[in-house]
Amino acid sequence: MRIDILSLFPEIIKSSLEYSIIKKALIKDLISINYHNIRDHSNNKQKKVDDYQYGGGSGMVLMIQPIYDCIKKLKEERNYTNIIYLTPDGEKLEQSTSNKFSLSENIILICGHYKGIDQRIREHLVTDEISIGDYVLSGGELAAAVFCDSIIRLIPGVLGDESSALTDSFQDNRLSEPIYTRPENYEGLKVPKILVSGNIKEIERWRDKKSLERTKKYRPGML
């Protein structure tokens, strides 16, 4: 998968995608992430990228020109399956959304700033609008990092244990069960006996029950 990210602050995204599993995916060439600073594409002498809203109103808007030209250039080089704008008024990111996008080949992500981007980009170039939750961030960069992390870890070969992405919370509309590791007893805090019983069937039943309990408690709407 190739991801091209347009942003005024690419370093914010870069720094959060250079560790652990994502770093391995980059090294193994399972993905490539290419950063494009929107300012570098401005035709303006002062490298201006934002302006006041037509019709009045507070807040600056990212101009059409630098974003349009950058996307045009990228599209001349290859085909893109999705051009995604990160915005609080987009479709809410769910595990099912990440599953779907993890199958894409080439995608472009646009990070807004200030009041957002010129609507003409959204209407004529963007294919999908994604929100990572009902709250407003100061820019789309952290949302882009969240989105990238959630899709990259699903790409075959990225996670060491292929099955582990399938047992994540949300994959079967349930929160995951509690997990433990060694030691079995730490200062009197013990691991549930069933998990060290060796009885696979009973362990599965226990996990299922715990996952259901947790879902009922924290996210009853998922059931």
Residues forming the site for ligand ADE (CB under 6 A): 86-88, 112, 131-133, 135-137, 140, 143
Give the residue with the Cβ less far from ligand ADE, 71 or 86: 86
Residue ranges of E strands in the chain: 2-7, 32-37, 50-52, 60-62, 82-92, 106-111, 128-131, 185-186, 189-190
CB of 62 to ligand ADE, least distance (A): 12
Give the residue with the Cβ less far from ligand ADE, 10 or 112: 112
How far is Cα of residue 167 from the mean position of the Cα atoms in its chain? 18
CB of 135 to ligand ADE, least distance (A): 5
CB of 5 to ligand ADE, least distance (A): 13
CA dihedral (41, 43, 49, 55) positive or negative: negative
Give the residue with the Cβ less far from ligand ADE, 37 or 131: 131
* Block residue for tokens 């998968």: 1
Give the residue with the Cβ less far from ligand ADE, 135 or 186: 135
CB of 3 to ligand ADE, least distance (A): 16
Residue 175 · residue 218 · CB < 8 Å: yes
* Block residue for tokens 């997990």: 179
CB of 144 to ligand ADE, least distance (A): 8
The amino acid sitting at 211 is S
Give the residue with the Cβ less far from ligand ADE, 5 or 137: 137
Q: Give the residue nearest to ligand ADE (CB).
A: 143
- Report the alpha-carbon distance of residue 127 to residue 181 in Å, rounded: 44
